Amino acid sequence: MLRPLALAGALLWSAGACAQDLPPAAPTPLPECRRVGDAPFLQIDSEAAVLLGGIGLDRAAVFARMAETSIPETMGCWAMPVGNFDGQLVSVGMSQWNYGTGSLQPVLAAWKQRLRGRFGRTRKALAPVYGKLLFSRDCLKVPVRDKCRTRILAAHDADGRLNAVLLRELTALFESDAMLQVQTDAYVALLLDVRRDLLRVFAGQPITMRKVRWAIDTKVQQGFFPPDADLARLRGKLAAMPEAERWERLRAILAWYEALSRSIDQDGVARDYAWNVAQWRCMIDTGAIDAEQYELLHLTFLRSRTAIGNSGRWQALTFSRRAKIALGVGSVSGKRDGDCIGAR
């Protein structure tokens, strides 16, 4: 449950306060879980390693990005299954693979294939109640069949949360060594897709780690990047923009984010948006935004305003996540990093 902003914080935000004026967010306790990170038994394909090394992602960086991705998705856990709160039926794993988008089924199938002769007994040991259902033909189809959907929904409580048994069994599956390797493989495949997109979206530009992190988050949360025509249109407008309009254009994007965050059907930003508005407005006022950050903010605006999940319910959150990466300052899920003073 997202808690409302303190009245004092809201008043300070409305006055355009900077970093030191706002009270710190209460720390969110980390769950007990198997946490995302490198382990000696995890392998990365050698050809993939070479390609990813070309954009600055060696093994340590791959697992660092994986851990970073997992923070807003699972609070840093390998599993953390959740139910149908967002219409995805079940979401689980460090990148929140889910039935709704069809991303969970291939992960489950890959785990089954990886275990080969050990699949049946391993499934029974880790998921004795729901394992047969999870790996049934109905639940491995994309989209899942009605029979699967009905039985999975029956494993939710009245508040739309997974029951304790299914929660425990999904956690056991996704914290198992074999599933850690499957999740690593899936994430490496995602990074290879990100690499191809980076070379298109930023053709002729240096591929910095800031761009890599921004692109990973875009891919994880929204799946794809703006098409070439939209990129060309936006960059043409930026190139023709008079210098005198430079900061006002950013203020307009910030005003959009502020108004959207305060509207009735935006979720995931209640603890964050006031602090973000204050920090980012301060950075604009002090000119603490470089050319790369400036373009990334506009690209973030371009993609965030087309986030369609739950009819746009998460648009402000998508902007928060990418803007925080672009600027190195921001709050997401109550976790604050950096401030306007340090960014100057």
Q: Are strands 330-332 and 335-337 parallel, antiparallel or unpaired?
A: antiparallel
Closest C-alpha among 306, 290, 284 to residue 210: 290
Q: Spell out where the chain has E strands.
A: 91-92, 97-98, 330-332, 335-337
CA distance 174 to 181: 10
CA distance 21 to 57: 38
Amino acid 5: pLDDT: 26
Quick one: how far is CA 153 from the chain centroid?
Answer: 25
Main-chain phi, psi angles of 289, to 5 degrees:
-135, 120
Amino acid 159: pLDDT: 86
Residues in the chain: 344
Amino acid 26: pLDDT: 52
Q: How far is CA 104 from CA 40, 188, 307, in A?
A: 25, 16, 20
Residue 67 near residue 111 (C-beta atoms within 8 A): no
Amino acid 72: pLDDT: 86
Closest C-alpha among 85, 108, 214, 259 to residue 158: 85
Q: Tokens at residue 310, please?
A: 């739950």
pTM of the model: 0.84
Sign of dihedral through CA atoms 135, 137, 143, 145? negative
> Could you tell me the residue ranges of all domains in the chain?
7-30+226-343, 46-198
In the chain (344 residues long), the average pLDDT of successive 10-residue segments reads 27 31 52 94 98 97 95 94 92 95 96 95 98 97 97 93 96 98 97 96 96 94 91 97 96 98 96 97 95 97 91 95 96 92 83
- Strand-pairing partners, residue 337, are 330
Amino acid 160: pLDDT: 86
Amino acid 339: pLDDT: 94
CA distance 152 to 129: 12
Amino acid 158: pLDDT: 86
Q: What is the CA radius of gyration of the chain?
A: 21
Residue 156, helix vs strand vs coil: strand
